[in-house]
Amino acid sequence: MATTDNSIPAAFAVETGEATRAIARDASRRVNRLVAAFRVVVAFALLGVSLLAQDESLFLERNPLLFRLAAIGYCLGAMLFLFYQRRYPIAGPYRVPVLLALDTLAVIVLVHTGGGITSGVGGLLAVFVGAATLSLPGRYAFFAAAIATLAVLGEQMVAYSEGLSSGNDFVSAGVLGAVIFAIAAAAFPLARRLEESEALAHQRGIDLANLAQLNEYIIRNLRENIVVVDGSNHLRLMNQPAAETMGLRGHAAGEPLHALSPQLERVLVGWRRSGNPQSQPPPFVAGDDSLQVNAYIVPLEGRVDGPVLIFLEDAGALAEKVQQSKLAALGRLTASIAHEVRNPVGAMSHAGQLLEESPAMGAEERRLLGIIRTNSRRVSDIVENILQLSRREATRPQLLWLREWTAGFIAELGSTLELFEGQVAAISTEDVEVRMDPGHLHQIVWNLCENAVKYASENGGIGVELAWGRMPGGRRPYLEVADRGPGVADDLRDRVFEPFATGPKGGTGLGLFISRELCELNRAALIHEPRKGGGSVFRIVFADPARWGTEP
């Protein structure tokens, strides 16, 4: 039997110190990408303004040539790092300090060759130090702010000593240094809250993933057959028991339902067209034509055109419970039938035989005696069939090859019913092994063939065919008995296997009921289909011996 993976899934993800550090690194990478893009924009903006306003530069360059060379070098370096950052997004422990040092050096050179501290270029250091603070630990962030402030003051001292700036510019340099420290102090708690928010969001994502994993695990390992379909009739989820019931060996979320099971899709489309969420569709035959399936459809959003949850139920299993209750009632009636009905019927039949021997009997009396004899025999058959149900023994399954078994069966049937050669024929060439009680299989096929011969002869000719093979979907072995008789009436097809269900030709109505009961005892299914061109096909779908290694 195909097994279902019932093992507990891998341990759910939990937040650890290493995971927290990974979240911090991820936030740092995003900040670094943003700063890298900002660096490129600023570098090109400085170079562009310097080149476009050569007569009266906005930066009042002290040395325009060196300023432009520094801007060009800064542009090239910014572009190279942006490319490097996109190719190698995982940052090492020294990337942020090294980049901050290079940014500080480039800005100080641009300030010194440009218009000095009053040009405003030095304000870029506040942006770079603030961005670095989001990635650096606390004391290193303030150390970076101190280095940047000292660099600004150092440039101002060099410019003052060279006569490029006045003493009042020291105030501007001090203010810029204070701003850098203030931004570092403000960014540090912001960075910590950002890390905490990232960690919380990551943990919530893990919790949701764990919940989804747990839900999927529970659904897939439920004994119930569950199928989830979206509003466009595409599969969302199907657990393993449902796949086995439908005879599917492979399926994936997102596949159209008609590609997996056209029968189930027709049922679902008919349910949607009804417009009534409370209505339930009729049973259908599963994908491998091996069993009848009931579908119970529940709308997930309260409307028929949205996603739905479908519960599948083996109609045979439900019918078996009903039949067990019927059998229990029949069993209780068996004793009284045997004592209260059989003996009087036997007495009436014997009395009729004695009357028929009387020489004084006329034609009309003999016609009435024929009616008595026929109905007495019918009542005796009903009693015998009911007694047969009550005497049913446990199965003794064996492995049988259908080619050899069918050849012997056809020979026995032909000699017993005095049939001509070819009136009952086997038409399959391959050989198939099945697992079933030989006595039960003989009784089932005998009942089917005897009915086929009886009704086919009344229809003008006997032509019974036995065919076997494997079902195309689930590869379960089967044996078919097909005839060219009048077929089963439309109003009787749904009740053909029920006890005492008889057509206009009469009969006890128990032969097919007993045959199906014997099939279910052997984990097989008995299915009726109308035959194309007229007649009936009764198909026995056996349990696959490769799946059932133990006795049923």
pLDDT value, residue 91: 56
CA distance 22 to 16: 10
Residue 157 has pLDDT above 80, yes or no: yes
Structural domain contains residue 309: yes
Read off the pLDDT of each residue in 400-413 and give the average, rounded to a whole number: 90
b or e along 520-534 (b: 16 or more beta carbons within 10 Å of the residue's beta carbon)? bbbbbbbbbeebeee
Query: Same domain, yes or no, for 309 and 326?
Result: no
Q: How far apart are CA 392 and CA 1, in angstroms?
A: 26
Name the residue among 284, 221, 255 with its Cα closest to residue 297: 284
Check pLDDT > 60 for residue 174: yes
Name which residue leads in pLDDT, 86 or 223. Answer: 86
Percent of the chain with pLDDT over 90: 4
Q: What's the pLDDT at 176?
A: 82
Contacts 24+ apart (CB under 8 A), 121-124: 121/46, 121/59, 122/152, 122/155, 122/173, 122/176, 123/176, 123/179, 124/42
Q: Assess contact for 517 and 323: CB atoms under 8 A.
A: yes
The C-alpha atoms of residue 449 and residue 419 are separated, in whole angstroms, by 12
Say yes or no: 411 and 483 in one domain: yes
Please say if the pLDDT value at position 150 is more than 80. yes
CA atoms of 360 and 273, how far apart (whole Å): 71
Confidence band of 540 (pLDDT split at 50, 70, 90): very high
Let me know whether 42 and 173 are in one domain.
yes
Total tally of structural domains belonging to the chain: 4
Looking up tokens 């003794």 gives: 396
pLDDT digits (tens, 9 = 90+) for 493-505: 777 887 766 665 6
Check residue 370 and give its pLDDT.
76
Q: Which two tokens stand for residue 529?
A: 């289909």
Look at residue 467 in the predicted model and tell me its pLDDT. Answer: 92
| Boundary-marking domain end, from 256, 289, 314 | 314
* pLDDT at position 10 over 50: no
Q: Does the pLDDT at position 480 exceed 90? A: yes
pLDDT at 84 over 50: yes
Quote the pLDDT of residue 539: 92
485 within domain boundaries:
yes
Band (pLDDT 50/70/90 cuts) for residue 468 is very high
- The domain that holds 506 is classified in CATH as 3.30.565.10
204 Cβ contact list (under 8 Å, min separation 6): none
Q: Within this chain, do residues 298 and 341 fall inside the same structural domain, yes or no?
A: no
Q: Is residue 552 part of a domain?
A: no
Q: Is 441 exposed, middle or buried (0-12, 13-18, 19+ CB in 10 A)?
A: buried
6 has pLDDT over 50 = no
pLDDT higher than threshold 70 for residue 521: yes
Residue after which a domain boundary falls, among 260, 292, 314:
314
The CA dihedral of 101, 105, 106, 108, to the nearest 10 degrees, is: 130
Q: Tokens representing 533?
A: 């061109």
Residue 354 lies in a domain: yes
The DSSP letter of residue 444 is: H
Rounded mean pLDDT of 454-483? 81
What DSSP element (H or E) covers 308? strand 308-314
Question: For tokens 């020979």, what's the residue?
Answer: 411
Residue numbers of the domain that contains 408: 398-541
Residue 321 exposed, middle or buried by CB count within 10 Å (0-12, 13-18, 19+): exposed
Please determine, for residue 1, whether its predicted confidence score (pLDDT) is greater than 50.
Answer: no
Per-position b or e across 205-214, b if 16+ CB within 10 A of its CB: eeeeeeeeee
Are residue 91 and residue 188 in the same domain, yes or no? Answer: yes
430 with 352, same domain: the answer is no
Residues 374 and 450 in one domain: no
In-domain check, residue 347: yes
CA dihedral 84, 85, 88, 89 (to 10 degrees): 180
Do the beta carbons of residue 469 and residue 290 sit within 8 Å? no
Whole-angstrom distance, CA of residue 416 vs CA of residue 538: 22
Rounded Cα distance, 496 and 501, in Å: 6
The predicted model gives 478-503 an average pLDDT of 80
Q: Which residue has the higher pLDDT, 25 or 104?
A: 104
Residues 235-239 have a mean pLDDT of: 83
Q: Are residues 165 and 261 in the same domain?
A: no
Listed in sequence order, the DSSP H helices in 88-137 are 95-113, 124-133
**How does pLDDT run across 179-218, given as a tens digit for each residue?**
887 877 777 777 677 667 767 777 777 777 777 676 666 6
The pTM for the full model equals 0.41
- More confident call, 437 vs 340: 437
- Interior angle at CA 220, CA 219 and CA 225, nearest 5: 80
* Helix and strand numbers, DSSP H then E, in the chain: 15, 12
Question: Of 164-168, 390-394, 478-482, where does the model show the most confidence?
Answer: 478-482
CA distances to 225, 240, 310 from 221, rounded to whole Å, are: 10, 7, 16
CB atoms within 10 A of CB 543: 21
Final residue before a domain boundary, out of 261, 293, 314: 314
- Are 55 and 107 members of one domain? yes
Is residue 2 one of the residues assigned to a domain? no
For residue 132, being part of any structural domain is answered with yes
User: Do residue 267 and residue 323 come from a single domain?
Assistant: no
pLDDT digits (tens, 9 = 90+) for 267-295: 888 888 888 888 878 877 775 555 678 88
Report the mean per-residue pLDDT for the chain.
76
d(CA 147, CA 104): 9
Cα 451 off chain centre by:
43
**Rounded Cα distance, 423 and 461, in Å:** 9
Convert the pLDDT of each residue in 99-145 to its tens digit: 878 888 888 888 877 777 777 787 788 887 877 777 776 677 778 78
pLDDT at 8 (0 to 100) = 44
Alpha carbon 205 to chain centroid, angstroms: 23
Q: Do 481 and 504 belong together in one domain?
A: yes
**What is the C-alpha to C-alpha distance for residues 354 and 349, in angstroms, rounded to an integer?**
9
Mean pLDDT of 242-252: 74
Same domain, 30 and 109: yes
Which ranges of 13-167 would DSSP assign to H, the alpha helix? 17-52, 64-87, 95-113, 124-133, 138-161
* Chain centroid, CA 411 distance in Å: 49
**Any domain includes 505:** yes
Q: Residue 322 has what pLDDT?
A: 67
Contact between 99 and 81 under an 8 Å Cβ cutoff? The reply is yes
Q: Check pLDDT > 90 for residue 473.
A: no
Are 499 and 510 spatial neighbours (Cβ–Cβ below 8 Å)?
yes
Q: Which residues contact 467 (CB under 8 A, 6 or more apart)?
A: 426, 427, 428, 479, 480, 482
- What's residue 511's pLDDT? 80
Q: Is the pLDDT of residue 85 over 80?
A: no
For 355-387, the pLDDT digits (tens) are: 777 777 777 777 777 777 777 776 776 666 666
User: What's the pLDDT score for residue 14?
Assistant: 46
